[in-house]
Amino acid sequence: MDKTLQYNGTESIITKEQIQAKQILAKATIAAGIFNQYDQERTDRIAEAVARAGFNNRVQLAKMAREETKLGVCEHKVLKNVLATQLVFENIKNEKTVGILSHDEKSGITEIAQPLGPIFAIIPVTNPTSTVMFKILIALKSRNPIIISPPRKAMRCTIEAARLCYQAALEADAPEDCIQWLPESSREWTNAMMSQPGIALILATGGASMVRAAYSSGTPAIGVGPGNVPIFIDKSADLPFAISNIILSKTFDNGTVCASEQAIIVEQSFAPQVRAEFEKQNCYFLNAEEIRKVEMIAVDKNSGVMNSAIVGQPVEAIAELAGINPPAGTKIMIADQKGVGREYPLSGEILAPILAFYTCADLDEALKTCIDLNYFAGIGHTAGIYANNEDVIENFGNLMNAGRVLVNTPSSQGAVGGVFNTLLTSFTLGCGAGGKNITTENISAKHLVNIKRVCRYRANERWNRFQQAKYQDEKLSWDDILQEFNKNY
Amino acid sequence: MLENKHDQETNTLTFVFSGHLDSARSAPLAPLVESEIKKHTGQAPSVDKPFEVVFDLKEVDFISSAFIRICIMTAAVVKSGNLILKNACPFIKKTIKISGLESQLKIL
């Protein structure tokens, strides 16, 4: 560690991470300067080259990720890599991100794109290669250099994905150092990088404490924390379709997507049919003793945080850890729950094929349970409904505080967008003010561009012809003034 | 718009509200609620149970800030967690969540 003299005369300690972070940032800042000169065509060539490189290595990177993290399912990781390259590129390829974006003669406003500057991207262990390729792609499309923080348990695959993208970007004439990565994964490194004043934006995807640290750093951040996705199955739902969708989604990569279903909520009168359909489609309702055992291994009771040992694991591995024996071929384990909160460990986010199940007296109680789940641990993220009754869908949409309210859609794939709906394909899902985000949108290249507005003189005709001395007359009311202001208009 | 009854066995004072509790309608309710609660908090309890106040909102379709003030005032008088809002419709439940009142009362 080095010591440095502060302006106030005190000495402070500068860590090796801070020194190196400064050097990394200096390189990224130069890259930002050079990038700023690129036109749209040159920028698009780079984005396409990166998308192609990521896509062409989708299988190899998926294998590496599975092998290194021991999470999820290799084939599903391939699909995630496809979403992050092919579908993301499809979204952004025709988007204007350089120079004049629009000009409106009538309003006199010209919109001009301006890159943000160096972006610091934190990558989650659950989706390492797909998220890193996604973040690189949207950063370069918007002419921003990017610095990657790989997760400790997915260092090799994340760096390999970044390296392949960087190589392709350089071959397409991108600025040197437009993609960099931290040499180690540690809190010290992340904090050192986040607190660099030259970082323009942090794209933070991961655990709650890391997202909180990003927000606390003083650097603008788009952070995506936990989701706790309630799925309401209404009596009007197409039940076999609903259950097969839920299984498709909750088993996708063994439930590692933060938008995956966490709880199923049904009315009492409909519950027997729902349970029967789940069982018919090879899901298993745990008994009270099994629920207790799963609770013990799924969540740390003191902290309320899910146990990383079960994240992205298949049913068999979780059952073995818990010491239970669900029927062979079980796709999802389901636990009846009586309440929501810390005292009900399975009512929060669990990124594994485990679902909470709530049976409620009536529609109102079901909706209130959805609100409780939504506000307990997933505010602003995602909620879902299976229904064919428009009134119920509208009511549910109004009640949930979620950036995405998915209707008759598998929530993992639905929230990420591009497969079952027309949401922007994204691995960073805005969670609005509830999730401490500025937006509820799926984050894409357009969010990494500052838009300048060049405003031409356009006089407000009514303002100019109105005798403004009248504003000084206290006796004139709103109605009096507006009548005069809008006269003959 | 407001009925109340005290259950001596459970030491629970229940207020049943109804209608559209906008500011004009809620404001006159505040002194009524306050005086009823005072009557009971001033007495020695007949049973060894903490005094609870229940606001039954089954027939309520809107609450105003004046009604929220009644909740806050009541929550301050009864001990922590002993004000219970029950039978709220989902819309009102969400209003209570957004208002950040959950730490002061229970909503069932």
Q: What is the pLDDT of residues A72-103, one digit of tens each?
A: 999 999 999 999 999 999 999 999 999 999 99
Could you give the maximum distance between any two Cα atoms of chain B, in Å?
38
A258 classed as catalytic: yes
Q: Please give the Cα distance from A119 to A221 (Å, whole number).
A: 10
Look at residue A310 and tell me if it is in a domain. Answer: yes
Examine the domain organization and report whether A251 and A312 are in the same domain.
yes
Examine the domain organization and report whether A215 and A282 are in the same domain.
no
Two structure tokens written together for A460 = 């407000």
Segment 35-64 of chain B within 8 Å of chain A by CB: none
Q: Which residues of A touch B89 (CB under 8 A)?
A: 364
**Length of chain B, please?**
108
Examine the domain organization and report whether A324 and A372 are in the same domain.
yes
Task: Give the nearest partner residue to B90 out of A367, A375, A401, using CB atoms.
Answer: A367
Examine the domain organization and report whether A277 and A353 are in the same domain.
yes
For residue range A128-160, what is the model confidence (pLDDT) as tens digits? 999 999 999 999 999 999 999 999 999 999 999
Beta bridge partners of B63: B21
Examine the domain organization and report whether A255 and A184 are in the same domain.
no
Q: Please give the Cα distance from A267 to A366 (Å, whole number).
A: 6
Two structure tokens written together for B27 = 């404001």
For residue range B15-51, what is the model confidence (pLDDT) as tens digits? 999 999 999 999 999 999 999 999 887 666 566 778 9
Cα–Cα nearest to A168, from A136, A214, A194, A192: A136
Residue type, A419: V
Beta bridge partners of A223: A204
Q: Rounded to the nearest 10 degrees, how much is the dihedral formed by the CA atoms of A15, A149, A124, A69? A: -90
Examine the domain organization and report whether A54 and A172 are in the same domain.
yes
Look at residue A486 and tell me if it is in a domain. Answer: no
pLDDT score, position B40: 83
Instruction: Among A450, A468, A484, give the residue marking a domain's end.
Output: A450
Look at residue A464 and tell me if it is in a domain. Answer: no
Is the minimum CB–CB distance between B86 and chain A shorter than 8 Å? no
Contact A399 B91 (CB under 8 A): yes
Look at residue A10 and tell me if it is in a domain. Answer: no
Is the minimum CB–CB distance between A342 and chain B shorter than 8 Å? no
Look at residue A465 and tell me if it is in a domain. Answer: no
pLDDT score, position A189: 94
Examine the domain organization and report whether A171 and A307 are in the same domain.
no
Is the minimum CB–CB distance between B97 and chain A shorter than 8 Å? yes
Contact B93 A368 (CB under 8 A): yes
Examine the domain organization and report whether A343 and A420 are in the same domain.
yes
Q: Please give the Cα distance from A425 to A394 (Å, whole number).
A: 24
**What percent of chain B clears pLDDT 90, i.e. is strictly above it?**
61
A386: domain CATH number is 3.40.309.10
For residue range A99-117, what is the model confidence (pLDDT) as tens digits? 999 999 999 999 999 999 9
Is the minimum CB–CB distance between A367 and chain B shorter than 8 Å? yes
DSSP A429: B
Look at residue A151 and tell me if it is in a domain. Answer: yes
DSSP A299: B
- Confirm if A173 and A38 have CB atoms less than 8 A apart: no
| Mean residue pLDDT across chain A | 95
Look at residue A50 and tell me if it is in a domain. Answer: yes
B60, B85, B86, B93, best to mutate vs chain A, most A CBs in 10 Å: B93
Q: Which residues of A touch B94 (CB under 8 A)?
A: 371, 399, 401
Closest-approach residue (CA) in chain A for B91: A399
Examine the domain organization and report whether A72 and A108 are in the same domain.
yes
A139: domain CATH number is 3.40.605.10
Contact A375 B97 (CB under 8 A): yes
**CA distance, residue A371 to nearest chain B CA (Å):** 7
Q: Please give the Cα distance from A219 to B45 (Å, whole number).
A: 56
CA torsion sign for A241, A243, A246, A249 is negative
Go through the domains of chain B in sequence order and give each one's CATH number. 2-107 (3.30.750.24)
pLDDT score, position B44: 64
Is the minimum CB–CB distance between A364 and chain B shorter than 8 Å? yes
Examine the domain organization and report whether A403 and A328 are in the same domain.
yes
Look at residue A462 and tell me if it is in a domain. Answer: no
Examine the domain organization and report whether A233 and A210 are in the same domain.
no
Residue type, A430: G
Task: Please tell me the total count of domains within chain A.
Answer: 2
Examine the domain organization and report whether A72 and A105 are in the same domain.
yes
Beta bridge partners of A5: A11
Among the listed residues A178, A258, A283, A360, the single catalytic one is A258
**3-class secondary-structure state, position A189:** helix
Domain range enclosing A308: 229-424
**CA distance, residue A369 to nearest chain B CA (Å):** 9
Residue type, A247: I
Q: Which residue has the tokens 């106040």?
A: B53
Beta bridge partners of B98: none
